[in-house]
Structure 1
Amino acid sequence: MHLFRNAILFSALAAVLPMQASDKYEQVQNGIVLHTQAGQNVRVELLGDKLARVSAVPEGGRFTGGKSLVVLPQGKYSAFSTKDEGNRVVLKTPAMNVAVNYSDGQVSFYDSKGRLLLAENNGGRSFKPITVEGTKAYTVTQTWASPDDQEGLYGLGQHQANEWNYKGKNEELFQYNTKVSVPFVVSTGGYGVLWDSYSLCRFGNPDDYLQLGEAFTLYDKEGKKGNLTGTYTAKDGTTLVKQEPNIYFEHLKRGDLAHVVNLPEDFQFNGSKVVYEGEIEADATGTFDFILYYSGYQKVYIDNKLLVPERWRTAWNPNSYKFSAKLVKGKRTPVRIEWTPNGGVAYCGLRVYKPVTDDVKNQMRWWGEMQDMIDYYFIAGDNMDDVIHGYRTLTGKAQVMPRWAMGYWQSREKYNTQEEVLSTLKEYRKRQIPIDNIVIDWLHWKENSWGSHEFDRKRFPNPKQMVDDIHNMGGRVMISVWPKFYATTEHYKEFDRKGWMYKLAVKDSIRDWVGPGYLGSFYDAYSAGARKLFWSQMKDHYYPLGIDAWWMDASEPNIRDCVDIQYRKDLCTPTALGPSAKYFNAYALMNAEAIYDGQRTTTADDKRVFLLTRSGFAGQQRYSTATWSGDIATRWEDMRAQLTAGLNFAVSGIPFWTMDIGGFCVEDRYVAAQKEFYTTGTENADLKEWRELNTRWFQFGAFCPLYRAHGQWPFREIFNIAPETHPAYESMTYYTKLRYSLMPYIYSLNGMVHFNDYTMMRPLVMDFTADVRTRDVWDQFMFGPALMAAPVTEYNARKRDVCFPQGEVWYDFYTGKSITGGDMKTVDAPYSRMPLYVRGGSIVPFGPDIQWSDQKPAEEIKLYVYAGKDGKFTLYEDENNNYNYEKGAYATIDFLWNDAASTLTIGARKGKFPGMLAKRTFTIVKVDRNNPASFDTMPEGKKIEYGGKKVSVKL
Structure 2
Amino acid sequence: MKKLLSLAVMAIGLAEAQAQDVKIEFITPSIVHVVKGQPTKTLVVTAKPQDVALTKKGNTTSSKELTVKQDAKGNLTFLTAKGKVLLKEKDCDVLQARQTFTLDKDEAIYGLGTIQNGKMNRRGEKKRMEQSNLEDFQNVLQSIKGYGIYWENYSPTLFEDNAEGMTFDAEVGNGVDYYFMYGNNADGVIAQMRYLSGDVPMFPLWTYGFWQSKERYKSAAETEGIVDQYRALNVPLDGIIQDWQYWGSNYLWNAMDFLAEDFSNGKQMIQNVHRKHAHFMISIWASFGPMTQQYRELNEKGLLMPFETWPQSGISHIWPPVMKYPSGVKVYDAFHPEARAIYWKYLKTLYDYGTDAWWMDSTDPDFFNPRESDYAHKVYGGTWRSQRNAFPLETVRGIYQAQRKDYGQKRVFIMTRSSYAGQQHYGSNMWSGDVNSSWDMLRKQVPAGLSYSLTGNPNFNTDIGGFFCGSYNTKGSGSAPRNPQFQELYVRWMQYGLFCPVFRSHGADAPREIWQFGKKGEPVYDAIEKQIRLRYRLIPYLYSTAWQVTSNNDSYMRPLFSDFAADKKVWNITDEFLFGRSILAAPIVKAQYTEEKIIRTDAMTGWNRQNATDGSAAGAIDFTATKTTTKYLPKGAAWYDFWTNKQYKGGQDVTLETTLDRVPMFVRAGSILPLGPEMQYVGEKAWDNLEMRVYPGANGRFTLYEDEGDNYNYEKGQYATITFQWNDKARTLTIGARKGSYPGMLTKRQFTIVTPDGKQQSVNYDGHQTQVRIAK
Q: TM-score by structure 1 length? A: 0.74
Q: Aligned in 2, Cα 1:597/1:676: closer, same or farther, shift over 3 Å?
A: closer
What residue number does 1:569 align with?
Answer: 375
CA distance in 1, matches of 2:24, 2:630: 47
Where structure 2 has 5 or more consecutive residues not aligned to the other structure, the ranges are 1-5, 318-324, 594-626
State the shift of 1:517 in Å.
Answer: 4.5
Equivalent residue for 2:383, pick from 576, 579, 583: 579
What per-residue deviation string (whole Å, max 9, x for no partner) do you get for residues 198-249 of structure 1?
00112215xxxxxxxxxxxxxxxxxxxxxxxxxxxxxxxxxxxxxxxxxxxx
How do 1:467-486 and structure 2 match up within 5 A? 467-486=270-289
Quick check: 1:945 aligned with 2:764?
A: yes
Q: Secondary structure at the match of 1:673?
A: coil
Q: Are the aligned partners of 2:473 and 2:479 in contact in 1 as well (CA < 8 Å)?
A: no
Where 1:608 maps in the other structure, the secondary structure is coil
Matching of residues 85-234 of structure 1 within 5 Å: 88=59, 90-101=60-71, 103-121=72-90, 124-127=91-94, 138-146=95-103, 148-204=104-160
Q: 1:846 to 1:164 in 2, by over 3 A?
A: same
**1:108 touches 1:120 (CA, 8 Å); kept in 2?**
yes
Who is 2:470 aligned against?
Answer: 667
Separation in structure 2 between the aligned mates of residue 580 and residue 478 of structure 1, nearest angstrom: 30
**CA separation in 2, counterparts of 1:569 and 1:514?**
28
- Summarize the Cα distance change of 1:850–1:509 in structure 2 as closer, same or farther, 3 Å threshold: closer
Question: 2:224 matched to which residue of 1?
Answer: 422
CA distance in 2, matches of 1:696, 1:777: 18
Of stretches 445-454 and 806-815 in structure 1, the one that deviates more from structure 2 is: 445-454
Kindly indicate whether the alpha-carbon contact (under 8 Å) linking 1:657 and 1:706 is maintained by their aligned counterparts in 2. yes
Residue 450 (structure 2) aligned to one of 639, 647, 650: 647
Deviations 1:510-542 (A, max 9, x none): 535625552120110010111111111101x21
C-alpha distance in structure 2 between counterparts of 1:594 and 1:822, whole Å: 47
Specify the code of the residue in structure 2 equivalent to 1:95.
E
Deviating more after overlay: 520-529 vs 458-467: 458-467
1:659-710 deviations in Å (ceiling 9; x for gaps): 0000001233x123365969xxx96xxx111111101111111111110010
1:764 maps to 560
Offset of residue 125 of structure 1: 0.7
Aligned to 1:229: none
Post-superposition Cα deviations, 1:155-201, rounded to whole Å, max 9, x if no partner, equal 11101121211123222211011111110011110101100110011
> Which contiguous aligned blocks of 4+ residues in structure 1 show a shift greater than 4 angstroms?
22-29, 564-568, 674-678
In structure 1, distance between residues paired with 2:35 and 2:458: 28
Alignment check: 8 A CA contact 1:861 1:922 kept: yes
* 1:815 aligned residue (615, 639, 644): 644
C-alpha distance after superposition, 1:270-303 (max 9, x if no partner):
xxxxxxxxxxxxxxxxxxxxxxxxxxxxxxxxxx
Does residue 295 of structure 2 align to residue 492 of structure 1?
yes
Determine which of 529, 537, 556 is the counterpart of 2:346.
Answer: 537
Q: What SS does the aligned partner of 1:371 have?
A: coil
Q: Quick check: 1:521–1:559 contact (8 Å CA) kept in 2?
A: no
The residue type equivalent to 2:28 in the other structure is G
Three-state SS of the structure 1 residue aligned to 2:140 is: strand
Amino acid in the other structure paired with 1:113: K
**For each residue in 1:792-840, what CA deviation from the matched residue of structure 2 results, as whole angstroms up to 9, or x when unmatched?**
1111263222111112111111110111111122322222212111111
Deviation digits for residues 297-316 of structure 1 (CA, Å, limit 9, x no counterpart): xxxxxxxxxxxxxxxxxxxx
Superposition pairs of residues 438-837 of structure 1, within 5 angstroms: 438-447=240-249, 448-505=251-308, 511=313, 514-515=316-317, 517-539=326-348, 541-560=349-368, 563-564=369-370, 566=372, 569=375, 573-604=377-408, 606-668=409-471, 670-673=472-475, 675=477, 687-796=483-592, 798-837=627-666
Distance 1:365 1:676 in 2: 46
| Count of aligned pairs | 728
Alignment correspondent of 1:275? none
Deviations 1:318-373 (A, max 9, x none): xxxxxxxxxxxxxxxxxxxxxxxxxxxxxxxxxxxxxx6xx43xx32211111231
| Contact in 2 for aligned 1:24/1:34 (Cα 8 Å) | yes
CA contact (8 A) 2:335 2:394 kept: yes
Q: Aligned to 2:299, what secondary structure does the other structure show? A: helix
CA distance in 2, matches of 1:676, 1:534: 36
Shift of 1:488: 2.2
Give per-residue Cα distances to partners, 1:76-101, cap 9 Å, x unaligned.
Answer: 423222222xxx2x222222222223
Residue pairs, 1:309-320, within 5 angstroms: none
- Can you give the 5+ residue segments of structure 1 that lack an aligned partner in the other structure? 1-21, 58-62, 128-137, 206-355, 934-938
> Does the C-alpha gap of structure 1 residues 674 and 804 become closer, same or farther in structure 2, counting only changes over 3 Å?
farther
Whether contact under 8 Å (1:155, 1:185) holds in the other structure is yes
Q: Aligned residue for 1:325? A: none
Which residue of structure 2 aligns with residue 46 of structure 1?
26
Residue 75 of structure 1 deviates from its aligned partner by: 3.4
Match of 2:624 in 1: none
Residues 34 and 105 of structure 1 are in contact (CA less than 8 Å); yes or no, is this contact kept in structure 2?
no
In the TM superposition, 1:377-456 aligns within 5 A as: 377-447=179-249, 448-456=251-259
Equivalent residues of 1:691, 1:722 under 8 A apart = no
Q: For the structure 1 residues 807 and 513, does the alpha-carbon distance in structure 2 shift closer, same or farther, using more than 3 Å as the test?
A: farther
SS at match of 1:69: coil
Q: Partner of 2:603 in structure 1?
A: none
Query: Partners of 2:444 and 2:398 in 1: how far apart?
Result: 31
The answer to whether the Cα contact below 8 Å between 1:522 and 1:559 also exists between their aligned partners in 2 is: no
Structure-to-structure mapping, 1:301-340, within 5 angstroms? none
* Counterparts of 1:466 and 1:781, CA distance in 2: 39
- The CA distance in 1 between the partners of 2:547 and 2:362, in whole Å, is 29
- AA matched with 2:772: V
Describe the shift of the 1:33–1:415 C-alpha distance in structure 2 as closer, same or farther (beyond 3 A).
same
2:708 aligns to what? 879
Separation in structure 1 between the aligned mates of residue 425 and residue 494 of structure 2, nearest angstrom: 28
Residues 719 and 509 (structure 1), Cα distance of their counterparts in 2 relative to 1, 3 Å cut: closer
Give the number of the structure whose residues are more often strand, by fraction.
1
1:234-273 matched pairs, under 5 angstroms: none
- Paired AA for residue 524 in structure 1: D
Question: Among residues 170, 195, 213, which one is paired with 1:368 in the alignment?
Answer: 170
Contact 1:52 1:378 in 2 (8 A): yes
SS of equivalent residue, structure 1 residue 758: coil
| Structure 2 Cα separation of the partners of residues 676 and 590 of structure 1 | 37
1:862, 1:922 within 8 Å by CA — same for their partners in 2? yes
Counterpart selection for 2:48 from 74, 79, 91: 74
Describe the shift of the 1:79–1:26 C-alpha distance in structure 2 as closer, same or farther (beyond 3 A).
closer
Residue-by-residue CA offset, 1:445-486 (whole Å, 9 max, x unaligned): 111311321213520122111111111111001000101111
Distance of 1:907 and 1:735 partners within structure 2:
32
Distance 2:55 2:245 in 1: 60
Q: 2:307 & 2:334 partners in 1: Cα distance?
A: 16
Structure 1 pair 624/23, CA: closer, same or farther in 2 (3 Å)? closer
| Secondary structure, counterpart of 1:583 in structure 2 | helix
Compute the RMSD of aligned alpha carbons: 2.0
Which residue is equivalent to 2:602?
Answer: none
User: What residue identity is the alignment partner of 1:116?
Assistant: V
1:252 is aligned to: none
Instruction: Find the aligned partners of 1:186 and 1:23 in 2 and give their Cα distance.
Output: 26
- Find the aligned partners of 1:652 and 1:455 in 2 and give their Cα distance: 37
Separation in structure 1 between the aligned mates of residue 700 and residue 371 of structure 2, nearest angstrom: 51
Residue 788 of structure 1 aligns with an amino acid whose one-letter code is L
Identity of aligned residues (%): 35
The CA distance in 1 between the partners of 2:514 and 2:312, in whole Å, is: 38
Residue 764 of structure 2 aligns with an amino acid whose one-letter code is E
**SS of equivalent to 1:793:** coil
Using a 3 Å threshold, how does the CA distance of structure 1 residues 784 and 674 change in structure 2: closer, same or farther?
A: farther
Per the alignment, do residues 792 and 905 of structure 1 end up closer, same or farther by CA in structure 2, a change over 3 Å counting?
same
